[in-house]
Amino acid sequence: MSNPQLSRRSVVAGLAGVASGVPSACLSQSTTDPISLPSLRGGDKTDDRALVRALRTGRPIHLPGGGGAAADGAYLIGAAPSAENLIGGARLFGDGMGRTILRASPRTSYIFFCDSGSADTNRNIRNISISDMTLADDVARLGYAEHRHLAHLNGVTAVRFERVEFRGFRGDGLYLGSGPVAGIERHNRDIQILQCRFDGVNRNNRNAISVIDGSSVTIRGCDFINCTKPGRPGETGAGDPMNANSGIGNPGAIDCEPDANAFAIIRDVAIDRCRFSGGGGAAVALLLRPNDQVRVPHRGFSISNCIIERQRLGFTFFGFAGSGAVESDAGYAVGYHDNDLRECDTPFIINGTRQMAMSGNRFADCALSAELGYTDHNAECVLSDNEFLRVGYAKSGVNGLVVRSASGLGLIENRFVDCGRADRSGGRAIEFRSGRISDLRMIGNRFESPTGRTTYAVGVTGAKLDRASCRAEGNIFTFKTNRDFG
């Protein structure tokens, strides 16, 4: 492949008719002067070809609001693996979300697509900037389509989306992938998604952002509204594309989920000051490979200062299988800090992780229990200074926090208030439910139940506690309770 920055097949495949279409006046301008996309539409009157011409100038490209070829002024821009439309150095900006609107042109799968064509990050497509516009599909009218994404990028470095709205996506809003088909190796580096808005409209989509492969990914100040198909429990397959409550549910608004390849890399992902509401999946899903099955361990995840409300799930984490988290020394280094989660079905499910810290979070008015452990072992996890307020209030909820197999677990200075069933029928703040629990430190936690909702502060129903390695001290109980550790 020749220079991937300037000679992508996107500017030639299927577009030979525009090879001579860049006016000499455009080329004579400084590469820092913006060019207006409509000015390059030409006799073919298509936005697709105008974009190719504009990219060849090397100049920033302005898409003025209402200047597109569609009857309503939207830009009809589309791409497919056979005809990519982003190259290195592409700089596109509009007049703001809701003013400059892009829709996929007919017979294309994506609005934006690019692929470096190489597993070598030195050959990545670099320095793409897209800002102040809306990328839109019509999920309400057309329904769910798992692989139809608004932007599909593979093998990119230094990409910035700022103040971009992703609206009505049928698959993903933004897909950071490892190639257009399974088994291809690509790596994405230095991705910034800033002050963007992801509106799934009716929760009948896949994920707002999928990270299949990515390092140094920052998602900051973004809003996620009505994202992700909840599906129906027990169903498999896609279900009815027009019914979000059919078929299998999808992971969540932000999903870090590599394909089953040893070369997959996901590291140093920071999600900060984002807001999630009304989603049918998790706000943030980390569905990672076991770290003993990848060449480069997945590591370094920070979710902080986020507001999460009315989601099906707050956080999900799945990593090691079985007892792999205890046997491996390759931890994930996951941190959940200072988040405010309210009125969700389930606060979190953390399963198969090693090295996880959860601190300063508030979990309030959630129907079901938070779950530390699900099917697999957790190791070296510390929950400190969190508040669980009225968690597990549904009849099937029972508990504030359920703990299963764990080693090296710290529960330190957390506060549990009125956890358990709203009808006061046997709820617990913490239940050690199953598996083997060793090296437990339970220190300085507060248990309160001003309404009498919590029957037991701590219960052990099926777990085996290694009492010799467990330590409990300084816990404060401000209501009459059976503090059952037996």
Paired tokens of 226: 């009505």
Paired tokens of 229: 């198909």
Which parts of the chain register pLDDT below 70? Answer: 1-30, 480-486
Assigned domain for 296 exists: no
pLDDT of amino acid 480: 65
Assigned domain for 101 exists: no
Give the SS3 label for residue 9: helix
Q: State the pTM of this model.
A: 0.93
Eight-state DSSP code of residue 467 = G
Paired tokens of 29: 């301008």
pLDDT of amino acid 29: 53
Give the SS3 label for residue 24: helix
Assigned domain for 448 exists: yes
Assigned domain for 147 exists: no
Paired tokens of 464: 């085996």
pLDDT of amino acid 24: 44
In Å, how far are 19, 352, 357, 366 from 400, measured between CA atoms? 64, 20, 18, 9
150-175 pLDDT per residue, tens = 999 999 999 999 999 999 999 999 99
What are the backbone dihedrals phi and psi of residue 291, each rounded to the nearest 5 degrees, phi first?
-70, -10
CB atoms within 10 A of CB 147: 13
Q: Are 467 and 460 in contact (CB under 8 A)?
A: no
> Considering its fold, how many domains does the chain have in total?
1
Task: For 45-81, give one letter per residue: b (16+ CB within 10 A) or e.
Answer: ebbbbbbbbbbbbbbbbbbbbebbbeeeebbbbbbbb
pLDDT of amino acid 30: 62
Residue count of the chain, please give it. 486
Residue showing tokens 């692929």:
115
Q: For residue 170, which of 217, 227, 130, 251 has the smallest C-alpha distance? A: 227
Would you state the torsion angle of the CA atoms of residues 300, 306, 310, 315, taken in this order, to the nearest 10 degrees? Answer: 10
Please name the residues in contact with 458: beta carbons below 8 A apart, sequence gap of 6 or more. 428, 429, 430, 431, 432, 442, 447, 483, 484, 485
pLDDT of amino acid 72: 97
| Alpha-carbon gap, residue 383 to 31, rounded angstroms | 52
Can you name the residues that pair with 313 across neighbouring β-strands? 282, 346
pLDDT of amino acid 398: 82
Assigned domain for 456 exists: yes
Paired tokens of 296: 């480069």
Assigned domain for 191 exists: no
Paired tokens of 305: 């200062």
CB atoms within 10 A of CB 15: 18
Q: Are 54 and 42 in contact (CB under 8 A)?
A: no
pLDDT of amino acid 124: 98
Q: For residue 442, which of 423, 462, 479, 416 has the smallest C-alpha distance? A: 416
Tell me which H or E stretch contains 325. helix 324-327
Domain range enclosing 373: 348-353+363-486
| Alpha-carbon gap, residue 200 to 426, rounded angstroms | 39
